[in-house]
Homo-oligomer: A and B are copies of this chain.
Amino acid sequence: MSSDTHYPTPAEIDAIWTSAQAGDQAAVARILSLVEEEGPARTHLLALANPHVGKAHRIGISGPPGAGKSTLISALARELSTDGQMIGVVAVDPTSPRTGGALLGDRVRMGDLEQDDSIFIRSLATRGHGGGLSLAAGLVADQLDALGYNPLLLETVGVGQSEVEVVRKAHTVVVLLLPGAGDAVQLMKAGVMEIADVFVVNKADKDGARELAMLLEAEVHAATRRAGTWTPPVLLTTAFKGEGVAAVVDAIGRHREYLVTSGELRERSVSGVRLQLRQLVERELLDRLWKDETFGGVLTGVAEDVVEHRTDVGAAARDLAQRMQFPVPPPG
């Protein structure tokens, strides 16, 4: 961080927060930037958001590049915001080589949405590590949630590990697929079958759309066995014409109802927070460890041992890691 960057005081953060609560979009943008970065501002914002967080329905939307996620999200956002409700969109692209900036492509494709004051869009590109991106997306979602945006649409590209980590924090996961892409079976193998609550086959007018939908239906029915649990519907859309979007909104609403009646909503909230907590603990732990001078000295000594062939790097690392003591559970 350069020395001319103004770092806001707690009182200033409180003021920005109040403006954001009053609907000032520039203040919302500032808050999201502050919470994305590690530091005292993040700490302060997490505490500020705490009493208000947990109201928003979080909808994860995942699928391969080119499946039409941005188009679907634009259409969904328009459907969902008709009653004047403020909606948040968090778009994540872990494969984007752009750093520290917006996903230009998404902003362009969702351009007309940005004119709409009831929809707030935040794009996150690769910053540092994969886990860091999923962590940042979760913290951004928490702030939007606490500021009254509901629902939140969490968009990720692809179905790799870090994408799955983003949508795992959602209450309802929509998986978007394309006919003829040929990778549907691969996606299912990658664990998408287990996390999807709603399947959407986009570009329904293309060859193979119905076949893909039927294949998914068959898989869904083979996988869902427990009576009374949710069976993911398979829907067809042509998002750029708005066709089938109302049915997606309806399916999301029905899934939400199912979560509430079954008690699964709380389970999902807890498991989302647990994953977020885990990512934060990892950061804190490693930060503490590498700042510890005693440990730093030990590490240099062991590195010398490795260079002198007294031990190999794998055995030495295992040895060091095994000296670490796990936290004791709190009393009571």
A206 at the binding interface (Cβ < 8 Å)? no
Instruction: Report Cα–Cα, A129/B131, bound state, in Å.
Output: 7
State which of B49, B277, B320 has its C-beta within 8 Å of the C-beta of A316. Answer: B277
Within the complex, the shortest CB–CB distance from A115 to chain B, in Å, comes to 31
Instruction: Report Cα–Cα, A131/B311, bound state, in Å.
Output: 23
User: For chain A residues 14-55, which have a beta carbon within 8 Å of chain B?
Assistant: 42-43, 46-47, 49-51, 53-54
Cβ–Cβ contact B298 & A99, under 8 A: no
A266 at the binding interface (Cβ < 8 Å)? yes
Cβ–Cβ contact A329 & B298, under 8 A: yes
> Which 7 A-B residue pairs are closest in the complex by CB-CB distance?
A323-B327, A325-B325, A280-B317, A284-B321, A95-B97, A46-B314, A274-B303
**Contact flag A297-B42 (CB < 8 Å), given A47-B312, A282-B286, A285-B324:** no
Interface size for A (C-beta < 8 A) is: 73
Instruction: Report Cα–Cα, A209/B270, bound state, in Å.
Output: 57
User: For chain A residues 126-175, which have a beta carbon within 8 Å of chain B?
Assistant: 126, 128-131, 142, 158, 160-162
Within the complex, the shortest CB–CB distance from A285 to chain B, in Å, comes to 5
Known: A270-B304, A292-B326. 10 other contacts (CB 8 A): A46-B313, A47-B312, A97-B158, A273-B307, A277-B303, A277-B320, A281-B321, A283-B317, A289-B326, A294-B329
Instruction: Report Cα–Cα, A47/B313, bound state, in Å.
Output: 8
A269 at the binding interface (Cβ < 8 Å)? yes
Cβ–Cβ contact A298 & B316, under 8 A: no
Name the B residues within 8 Å of A292 (CB-CB): 326
Which residues of A line the B interface, CB within 8 A? Answer: 42-43, 46-47, 49-51, 53-54, 95, 97, 99, 126, 128-131, 142, 158, 160-162, 266, 269-271, 273-274, 276-278, 280-286, 288-290, 292, 294-295, 297-300, 302-304, 306-307, 309, 311-318, 320-330
For this chain, the copies found in one complex come to 2
Report the nearest B residue to A50, measured CB to CB. Answer: B312
Report the nearest B residue to A287, measured CB to CB. Answer: B321
Can you give 6 contacting A-B residue pairs, CB < 8 Å?
A50-B309, A95-B126, A277-B316, A284-B321, A294-B329, A298-B330
Instruction: Report Cα–Cα, A54/B313, bound state, in Å.
Output: 12
Cβ–Cβ contact B273 & A303, under 8 A: yes
Instruction: Report Cα–Cα, A271/B303, bound state, in Å.
Output: 7
State which of B54, B274, B280, B324 has its C-beta within 8 Å of the C-beta of A309. Answer: B54
Report the nearest B residue to A278, measured CB to CB. Answer: B299
